[in-house]
């Protein structure tokens, strides 16, 4: 401490510039988990600069940040759900990180979906902080009981459906498949849309100006799920599950379910009794896909602490930072060192990394109105198309409503 004080005093005496330590204010959503908090803890312990975290309820974060920006009280940085990055970038409220981001030697290995959603009009405003992907899980013990090969990952929905029927035949409250179909738009964009993406179709045009919901691929996907429901392989409660029971697979009575890679850690630590396997989600034609979710790291436009913020993010992207994130359950954001980062951890996490390469995320400034809202066209469509009697009507209504929302936002 004395040596440090003397060095500082001498520097000032010689007219040298001494950088003062910065305290970076950063908001994160409640429930972000230990991985990022542990990175912040390590950074604060190692350097002079500090990061001061404030947790904000997830449902309030976007509105609170917008209000804070308007009032000049916004934090220096924010962990923002990547789907909202384009809207804040379009509003001119985020710092342009393009030049610095592209100078990073590992820039090309960062999660591509996060970088895409962080880009607006060819400028980069957000970079990946936490990466989440959707994957397919099966209960090996239930596979054994149903006479299935517990080590064989299903590669098509024909296999998944046949397996689901055999598992349901075990009787009682054991079911072959599960999904949250009761108006949980976020759940179903995460786990259901990969069926369509894998086959090369999408629900929005590349420029996000047209709704492209009604395609042969989406109709096949709907038919697959309707068939699973009709064959009684899905619990009745699925129809009203708004996401509260998204991880029903953890009860040990569900044979198969598309889940998030985050659930691997949950299953390993909280449900060690469940023997499970994971693989990529097959598309309707067998080609896999995934939803890339998670948070982007964004910087409030005009912050005087931009250089300190960059320094912290570089630590997060370092081998040390990435290993800390992975140790506490987060997938690596850097593909070039993912193998080394995951070394010694549960090998099933590698499936989550494989999913990044085939994952997509809808790019739209109206994600909440189109997708996430429980009363929006996507959530309403999913429930009506899979559980209702008028499939054509469900497609027609959703296609029309989505286009109206898109047109109103132009």
pLDDT in tens, 81-107: 999 999 999 999 999 999 999 999 999
Q: Which of 35, 112, 49, 109 is nearest to 77 (CA)?
A: 49
Query: Which pLDDT band holds residue 267 (cuts at 50, 70, 90)?
Result: very high
The residues of the chain that CATH labels 3.40.190.10 are 19-132+292-360, 134-291+364-409
Q: How far apart are CA 40 and CA 209, in angstroms?
A: 39
CATH number for region 19-132+292-360 = 3.40.190.10
Mean pLDDT score, 174-178: 98
Cβ-contact 256, 138 below 8 angstroms = yes
Q: Mean pLDDT score of the chain, rounded to an integer?
A: 92
* Count of CA atoms in the C-beta half-sphere (13 A) of 219: 10
Mean pLDDT score, 270-299: 96
pLDDT in tens, 41-74: 999 998 789 999 999 987 799 899 999 999 999 9
Q: How far apart are CA 343 and CA 357, in angstroms?
A: 19
Q: Which of 22, 79, 47, 112 is nearest to 320 (CA)?
A: 47
Cβ-contact 139, 276 below 8 angstroms = yes
The dihedral built from the CA positions of residue 396, 401, 406 and 407, taken in this order, carries a sign that is positive
Q: What residues pair up with 274 in beta bridges, in sequence order?
A: none
Higher pLDDT, 190 or 16: 190
Q: What global pTM score does this model have?
A: 0.86
C-alpha angle with apex 256: 251 to 261, nearest 5 degrees?
80
Query: Which pLDDT band holds residue 266 (cuts at 50, 70, 90)?
Result: confident
**CATH fold of the domain at 134-291+364-409:** D-Maltodextrin-Binding Protein; domain 2 (3.40.190)
Q: What is the pLDDT of residue 19?
A: 55
Q: Which of 228, 211, 245 is nearest to 381 (CA)?
A: 211
């Amino acid at each position: 401490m004395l040596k440090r004080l003397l060095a500082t005093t001498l520097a000032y005496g010689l007219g040298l510039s001494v950088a003062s330590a910065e305290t970076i204010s950063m908001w994160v959503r409640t429930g972000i988990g230990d991985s990022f908090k542990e990175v912040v803890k390590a950074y604060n312990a190692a350097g002079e600069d500090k990061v001061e975290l404030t947790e904000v309820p997830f449902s309030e974060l976007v509105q609170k940040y917008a209000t804070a920006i308007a009032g000049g009280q916004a934090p220096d940085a924010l962990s923002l759900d990547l789907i909202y990055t384009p809207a804040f970038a379009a509003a001119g409220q985020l710092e342009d990180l393009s030049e610095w981001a592209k100078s990073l030697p590992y820039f090309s290995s960062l999660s591509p979906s996060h970088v895409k959603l962080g880009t607006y009009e060819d400028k980069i405003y957000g970079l990946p902080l936490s990466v989440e992907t959707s994957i397919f899980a099966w209960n090996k013990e239930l596979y054994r009981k149903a006479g299935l090969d517990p080590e064989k990952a299903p590669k098509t929905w024909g296999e998944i459906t046949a397996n689901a029927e055999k598992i349901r035949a075990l009787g009682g409250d054991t079911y072959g498949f599960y999904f949250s179909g009761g108006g949980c738009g976020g759940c179903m964009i995460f786990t259901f849309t990969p069926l369509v993406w894998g086959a090369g179709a999408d629900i929005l045009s590349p420029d996000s100006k047209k709704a492209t919901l009604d395609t042969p691929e989406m109709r096949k996907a709907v038919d697959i799920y309707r068939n699973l429901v009709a064959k009684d392989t899905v619990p009745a409660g699925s129809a009203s599950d708004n996401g509260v029971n998204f991880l029903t697979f953890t009860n040990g009575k569900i044979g198969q379910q598309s889940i998030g890679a985050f659930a691997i850690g949950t299953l390993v630590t909280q449900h060690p009794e469940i023997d499970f396997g994971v693989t990529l989600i097959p598309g309707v034609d067998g080609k896999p896909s995934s939803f890339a979710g998670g948070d982007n790291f964004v910087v409030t436009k005009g912050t005087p602490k931009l250089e300190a913020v960059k320094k912290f993010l570089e630590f997060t992207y370092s081998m040390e930072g990435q290993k800390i994130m992975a140790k506490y359950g987060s997938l690596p954001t850097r593909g070039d060192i993912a193998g080394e980062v995951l070394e010694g951890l549960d090998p099933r996490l590698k499936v989550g990394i494989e999913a990044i390469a085939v994952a997509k995320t809808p790019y739209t400034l109206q994600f909440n109105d189109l997708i996430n809202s429980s009363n929006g066209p996507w959530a309403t469509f999913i429930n009506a198309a899979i559980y209702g009697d008028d499939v054509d009507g469900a497609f027609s209504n959703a296609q029309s409503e989505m286009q109206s929302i898109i047109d109103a936002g132009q």
